[in-house]
């Protein structure tokens, strides 16, 4: 097949539905061989089914593409390692990793249980770290063997991780962690030929349809950016967070030094407060937390 990703081997996690499914189909349409990972869990992370991944694989093959399913839990070392091994054993290589898997257990902080917090952190954040860790080890070995990869990683954060979202303390914390992980990975893996970016997508999926009922953007609207970031055509973009909603693309600009004052000596608490208030008066207001205006 021809296309911007012709003959690239791409792994997409959480690819049985929603954004992941759209990404897998878009990569296949551009010539990639795709490993379709999905545990087949419910919206709250419960249960498992081989059906969603198998359905996407069948759809890709019906269109003349190449794909294999993977039903392992990528938030476990065994599942993540087997995911990367599936790509290498089946197609002889790995070129692109798209970390997308996740689920929601929304609660206001006063009602959020430890188990609900841990479960979301586990899948969204640890579920990014482990596949990335095993993919990075593979690419480092390839580079040291004289086969430098043209490798790409696309992580999935969220506006909730950048601005916060009322009722989603666990999800927002996990998605903020994905940004930090992306920045570190981009810096550490550049020497091996790996570019690492994160997207903050806004699209109507089963995860967003209740919280954002009026959202019209589709998962398929996000996938073109993901495919480009995951292709060899992306020759230098790394360590970036990019937002995609419908036809709108935005470069998200994160924390950087703003107004500063240096007294040259330790302040009293009252002086520290006075200084901070004067600096805040000269600083930009942060963006509003999603849902903060809800009654």
Q: Answer for the pair 126, 69: CB distance below 8 angstroms, yes or no.
A: no
Pairing of strands 248-252, 241-245: antiparallel
Give the other-Cβ count within 10 Å of 147's Cβ.
11
283 is catalytic: no
* Residue 171 falls in the annotated catalytic set: yes
Q: Are 211 and 202 in contact (CB under 8 A)?
A: no
- Whether 158 is a known active-site residue: answer yes
Q: What is the DSSP letter of 43?
A: T
Catalytic residue among 91, 134, 171, 290: 171
Query: Which residues neighbour 153 within 8 Å (Cβ) at sequence distance 6 or greater?
Result: 96, 97, 98, 99, 132, 135, 182, 185, 189, 194, 195, 196, 197
CA 211 to CA 5: how far, in whole Å?
A: 34
CA 43, chain centre distance (Å):
17
Q: With contact defined as beta carbons under 8 Å apart, do 33 and 91 qualify?
A: yes
Place of tokens 């009026």: 214
Q: Which of 91, 165, 175, 244 is catalytic?
A: 175
Catalytic residue chosen out of the listed positions 158, 165, 231, 244:
158
Q: How far apart are the C-alpha atoms of 201 and 221, rounded to whole Å?
A: 9
Give the active site residues.
158, 171, 175
């Amino acid at each position: 097949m021809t296309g911007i990703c012709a003959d690239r081997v791409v792994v997409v996690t959480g690819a049985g539905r929603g954004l992941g499914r759209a990404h897998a189909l878009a990569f296949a349409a551009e010539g990639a061989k795709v490993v379709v990972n999905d545990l087949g869990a419910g919206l709250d992370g419960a249960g498992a089914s081989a059906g969603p991944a198998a359905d996407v694989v069948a759809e890709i093959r019906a269109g003349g593409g190449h794909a294999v399913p993977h039903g392992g839990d990528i938030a476990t070392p065994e599942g993540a390692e087997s995911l990367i091994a599936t790509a290498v054993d089946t197609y002889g290589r790995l070129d692109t990793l798209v970390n997308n898997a996740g689920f929601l257990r929304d609660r206001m902080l006063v009602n959020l249980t430890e188990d609900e917090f841990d479960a979301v952190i586990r899948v969204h954040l640890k579920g990014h770290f482990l596949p990335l860790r095993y993919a990075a080890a593979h690419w480092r070995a390839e580079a040291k063997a004289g086969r430098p990869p043209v490798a790409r990683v696309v992580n999935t954060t969220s506006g909730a991780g950048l601005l916060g979202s009322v009722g989603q303390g666990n999800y927002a914390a996990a998605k903020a962690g994905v940004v930090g992980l992306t920045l570190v990975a981009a810096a550490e893996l550049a020497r091996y030929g790996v570019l690492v970016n994160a997207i903050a997508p806004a699209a109507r999926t089963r995860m967003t349809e209740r919280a954002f009922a009026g959202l019209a953007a589709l998962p398929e609207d996000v996938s073109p950016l993901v495919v480009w970031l995951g292709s060899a055509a992306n020759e230098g973009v790394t360590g970036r967070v990019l937002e995609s909603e419908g036809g709108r693309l935005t470069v998200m600009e994160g924390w950087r030094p703003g107004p500063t004052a240096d007294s040259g000596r330790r302040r009293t608490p009252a002086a520290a407060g006075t200084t901070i208030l004067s600096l805040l008066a000269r600083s930009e207001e942060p963006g509003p937390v999603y849902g903060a205006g809800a009654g």
